[in-house]
Amino acid sequence: MKKHNFNSGPSILPQTVLEQAAQAIMEFNNTGLSLLEIGHRTTYFMEALAEARALVRELMDLDDSYEVLFLHGGATTQFMQVPMNLLDTNETAAYCDNGIWGNKALKEASLFGNVNVVASSKDKNHTYINKGFDIPADAKYLHITTNNTVEGTQWHHIPDTNVPIVADMSSDIFSRPLDYKKFALIYAGAQKNMGAAGVNLVVVKKDILGKITRPIPSIMDYAKHIAADSLMNTPPVFAVYVALLTLRWIKAEGGLEEMGKRNLEKSNLLYQTLDSLPIFTPTVAKEDRSQMNAVFVLTNPAHEAPFLELCKERGMVGVKGYRTVGGIRVSMYNALALESVQIFCDLMHEFAASVS
Amino acid sequence: MKKHNFNSGPSILPQTVLEQAAQAIMEFNNTGLSLLEIGHRTTYFMEALAEARALVRELMDLDDSYEVLFLHGGATTQFMQVPMNLLDTNETAAYCDNGIWGNKALKEASLFGNVNVVASSKDKNHTYINKGFDIPADAKYLHITTNNTVEGTQWHHIPDTNVPIVADMSSDIFSRPLDYKKFALIYAGAQKNMGAAGVNLVVVKKDILGKITRPIPSIMDYAKHIAADSLMNTPPVFAVYVALLTLRWIKAEGGLEEMGKRNLEKSNLLYQTLDSLPIFTPTVAKEDRSQMNAVFVLTNPAHEAPFLELCKERGMVGVKGYRTVGGIRVSMYNALALESVQIFCDLMHEFAASVS
């Protein structure tokens, strides 16, 4: 039976990326060796890394005032690394508290300096994105999570401010065209739209670095990674290579314009179906719905178990809500075909008919 | 032409591990999904992680006073993470300065507390291992690098001391039987004997944790990783799985006893050849030679380029010395067959005959 992969992460990747990755493990680039067995300072790998870095800048339309790094770890590593590099002990950073992950980020930041929670959607269980809040001009930076994977919300308008914006884009990186110049630092832990888990993408405007007094351990220091061309130590070679394959796929498919078009089409279909069937109840404010993760509940809680069972029977993988939240979550990352969403929507209709 | 992979790292892996890793990327465990696409909290992955952790303890013959963690990053990450967890600002740690990597480790530690360099082989370019040095009883821990990849030295006797020993085993992990109970903390960044780059193995005696006052960022906190069963955030799934495949291979081949036997046989062959041919000059004190990395020079420097050229012609990969050291370095990790060492030794003889 064909599986439809709605996993929230690690999640679906393009089939062609998987095939090329498997091939590279058997033999990389006619070297007679596996990708896992070649030195990271060989031309082979250094070219792959350089291509991946260049593709990120190209897809986001950023000039060379930005640097692109591929670093060890996941977004949780960046929760620490961002304030360690940007926030001095007596300074204040502005954080938006719009979900589980953003909340973890601000807690880690509080170990390094002062955190000012300038907006929070906690009053309504993080089911919306704050708008029109004040951003103190002296904040060192403003931290937002552009897509809240667990709660199913997404920022559709990036605030206009002179305060440098730091964004965790782990779950909507490369999913849509945006004015990426509005950001001073973008980070994204794999694995959602970008490749294998175990690598962080960090895109940083160079002029925000070097402005704190704290000594930074080498492996955490963005400036040192830039000086070392993102090759300070043995990088997560395989994860970087899968990121490259994914970036090539995105470009070949038409770049972020095309990804944005497809993701809009998929999420429109899903949300229209959701709104048309009273047995399902959306949990998120309409204008803040995520194109990546649709979160909803069964209007009658007794319907949840049989619906999940039906999904399982039909090969729908990963549609159960986050372990602390419950309900249903349907993740529709770049590599998920419209067809899978259509089949899921058909199933929603079928289930609705069966219980009415 | 068959390649003989003497890379210092990333380096050779067992062929069967590569085949199983490639297969898992196409489909993992009859799930209908790739290993790269499954959630890290699925039974499939959690079982793999638990098996890998158990195998480490079994191979090292350690009881449950030790915990086994698979964490993001490389050894360079541990250079910071060890003192962050173990060394308070006013405390002192003892470090042995026996090579490039150990030297980097002690520099990072100095950002967190006091570093007492209790032994250094810098006077002779790190070509030997210090012995019989004093370890102050009040040192928080003693840090050694059991195998110096760049310089080709290895600790063949682990010091007897009441001070907790912290060891960087990145380049000789799982290569020999040892009394692993002598260590309070062992870390090893992949990729040498353990699998794909992008994961750190940390084996820690639990009773050394929780003794400092510094707040530790979550992602760096060993105790929090233990509490989360090594699954605090999305781990480097693929690298952990390749580590598991390698650990299974080591066990199936006969465990650390067998690895030690093979590595001794390979390195004896190499060093005997080296000692028998005056056109080569070993650079390392005889009693401290590494079984993993044999480092030497051509007695006549003019012979180096033609020797390296001959190696290249015959498919010998990765025999050039470290970029800041030069000369020749032959790495003979677990997965390297005796046959490859034999062929390399034949080539040394052939070259010696051709220039004499």
pLDDT in tens, A166-193: 999 999 999 999 999 999 999 999 989 9
Nearest chain A alpha carbon to B12: A37
Q: How far apart are CA B289 and CA B148, in angstroms?
A: 10
Q: How confident is the model at residue A325 (pLDDT cuts 50, 70, 90)?
A: confident
Q: Are A72 and A265 in contact (CB under 8 A)?
A: no
Q: Minimal CA–CA distance to A126: which of A142, A110, A141, A104?
A: A104
Average pLDDT over residues B147-153: 97
Nearest chain B alpha carbon to A322: B41
B39-68 tens-digit pLDDT: 999 999 999 999 999 999 999 999 999 999
Nearest chain A alpha carbon to B1: A32
Cis amide bond preceding A177, omega within 30:
no
B81-126 tens-digit pLDDT: 999 999 999 999 999 999 999 999 999 999 999 999 999 999 999 9
A160 to chain B, minimum CA–CA distance in Å? 31
- CATH number corresponding to B4-10+255-355: 3.90.1150.10
B179-232 tens-digit pLDDT: 999 999 999 999 899 989 999 999 999 999 999 999 999 999 999 999 999 999
Sort out which chain B residues have CB atoms less than 8 A from A218's CB and list them.
Answer: 76, 79-80, 104, 107-108
* Token pair for A345: 């929507």
- CATH number corresponding to A15-253: 3.40.640.10
Sort out which chain A residues have CB atoms less than 8 A from B9's CB and list them.
Answer: 39, 234
Q: Has residue B326 got a pLDDT over 90?
A: no
Q: Has residue B248 got a pLDDT over 90?
A: yes
Q: How far apart are CA A237 and CA A41, in angstroms?
A: 11
Q: ipTM value, please give it.
A: 0.96
- CATH number corresponding to A255-355: 3.90.1150.10
Selecting among A97, A140, A155, A192, the annotated active-site residue is A192
Q: How far apart are CA B108 and CA B112, in angstroms?
A: 8
Considering only the beta carbons, identify the residue of A76, A232, A238 that sits closest to B196.
A238
Which residues face A116 on adjacent strands?
A94
Catalytic residue status for A179? no
pLDDT of residue B356: 82
Task: Give the annotated binding-site residues of B for pyridoxal 5'-phosphate.
Answer: 75-76, 101, 149, 168, 191, 233-234
Average pLDDT over residues A114-130: 98
Domain boundaries along the sequence of chain A: 15-253, 255-355
pLDDT of residue B323: 82
Contact B19 A26 (CB under 8 A): yes
Q: Has residue A2 got a pLDDT over 90?
A: no
Which residues make Cβ contacts (< 8 Å) with residue B293, sequence separation at least 6? Answer: B8, B147, B148, B149, B150, B152, B171, B329, B330, B331, B332
Selecting among A97, A140, A155, A168, the annotated active-site residue is A168
Identity of residue B350: E
Average pLDDT over residues A125-141: 97
Identity of residue A297: V
Q: Has residue A323 got a pLDDT over 90?
A: no
